[in-house]
Amino acid sequence: MAKEVVVTHEGYKKLEDELNTLRTVTRKEVAEKLKVARGYGDLSENAEYDAAKEEQAVVEARIADLEATLKVARVIDDSDLSTDTISIGMHVRILAEGDDEEDAEEYDITGSTEADIDAGRISDESPVGAALVGHKAGESVDVTLPNGSILEYKILAVSRTR
């Protein structure tokens, strides 16, 4: 059985929206590209046709991936979240050992499908996210990075994701 994927209500809706767009809009666009490319003649030497077929394969693979993810998705209920313990759906403020208070970092803890470091959203499966889950404000955690080094973070604050 596939591994359960934990998502927020917002994350689930985004996955559904992407799937709907791929099924209703993108598929039609790719089909039109294939139709136009077929009109160029000999398919064995038709770069446009090959590109459209490749795009079609990528779209269909993403659709299958989204369908599989949504089948095993578990939407977290905000009312089930403890407001003091770090879990998916929580916002954290952490400080690396040796840093000044103004260097504190803030993240939303998400499931792997919603992670986006540029938006301040880290997965509960990432090194930092996994180390933080289950801890509370005031505690310190050691984070083992992929290169083997260890960073210590102090948890300054925990709240629900905004």
Q: How confident is the model at residue 33 (pLDDT cuts 50, 70, 90)?
A: very high
45-78 pLDDT, tens digit each? 788 888 999 999 999 999 999 999 999 998 887 6
pLDDT at 57 (0 to 100): 96
Q: What is the pLDDT of residues 121-138, one digit of tens each?
A: 999 999 999 999 999 999
Characterize the bridge pairing of strands 90-96 and 105-110.
Answer: antiparallel
Q: Is 83 exposed, middle or buried (0-12, 13-18, 19+ CB in 10 A)?
A: exposed
pTM score over 0.85: no
Residues in Cβ contact with 135 at an 8 Å cutoff, skipping those fewer than 6 apart: 85, 86, 141, 155
Orientation of helix 47-72 relative to helix 9-21, angle to 10°:
150
